[in-house]
């Protein structure tokens, strides 16, 4: 086996391992399945922590179950970065969001345009309902109106 062939085989094995650990891919041949699953679970818990830092109200709304709920949802999804992962999770669970988590999603959707595939882009202007009121965004400035909240 030449060095080039060895390098290509190693790269393919590494890619398969990463896909199995981070994107729900099939278990690569020659690896300890238990160890790969444990590493994959650790990566999902780390992702959950990163998303909770980017979306604090969302993570807090699930309490102690956050990491397990997020890990279950994210297991078959490749990481898109904590902001996009949180946004995708919040959209998928929109019907169950309440209070600050629903507000957090509404504020993100007011400030950013995101189609679920391309990176988010800033909006020039937007209007969204939030729990207890409405938020208006124009050229980067946001103001919330409703039950005693005006910023």
User: What DSSP line would sit under 10-27, residue for residue?
Assistant: HHHHHHHHHHHHHS-PPP
pTM listed for this prediction? 0.76
- How many angstroms separate the Cα of 82 from the Cα of each of 4, 46, 56, 77, 116? 36, 10, 11, 13, 13
pLDDT digit string (tens) for 1-23? 777 777 787 788 788 887 777 76
Task: Estimate to the nearest angstrom the gap between the alpha carbon of 123 and the chain centroid.
Answer: 20
- Quick check: 146 and 133 in contact, CB under 8 A? yes
pLDDT digit string (tens) for 109-132? 988 999 999 999 988 888 888 788
Average pLDDT, the chain: 87
**How much is the pLDDT for 151?**
47
Closest CA to 107 of 81, 77, 86: 86
Phi then psi for 40, rounded to 5 degrees?
A: -65, -40
Q: What is the DSSP letter of 2?
A: -
- Quick check: 126 and 117 in contact, CB under 8 A? no
């Amino acid at each position: 086996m030449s060095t080039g062939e060895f390098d290509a085989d190693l790269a393919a094995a590494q890619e398969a391992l990463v896909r199995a650990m981070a994107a729900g891919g099939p278990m690569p041949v020659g690896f300890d399945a238990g160890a790969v699953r444990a590493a994959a679970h650790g990566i999902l818990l780390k992702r959950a922590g990163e998303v909770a830092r980017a979306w604090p109200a969302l993570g807090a709304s699930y309490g102690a179950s956050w990491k397990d709920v997020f890990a279950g949802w994210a297991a078959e999804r490749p990481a898109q970065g904590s902001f996009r992962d949180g946004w995708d999770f919040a959209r998928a669970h929109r019907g169950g969001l309440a209070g600050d988590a629903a507000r957090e999603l509404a504020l993100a959707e007011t400030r950013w345009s995101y189609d679920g595939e391309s990176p988010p882009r800033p909006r020039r202007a937007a209007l969204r309902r939030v729990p207890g009121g409405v938020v208006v965004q124009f050229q980067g400035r946001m103001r919330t109106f409703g039950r005693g909240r005006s910023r």
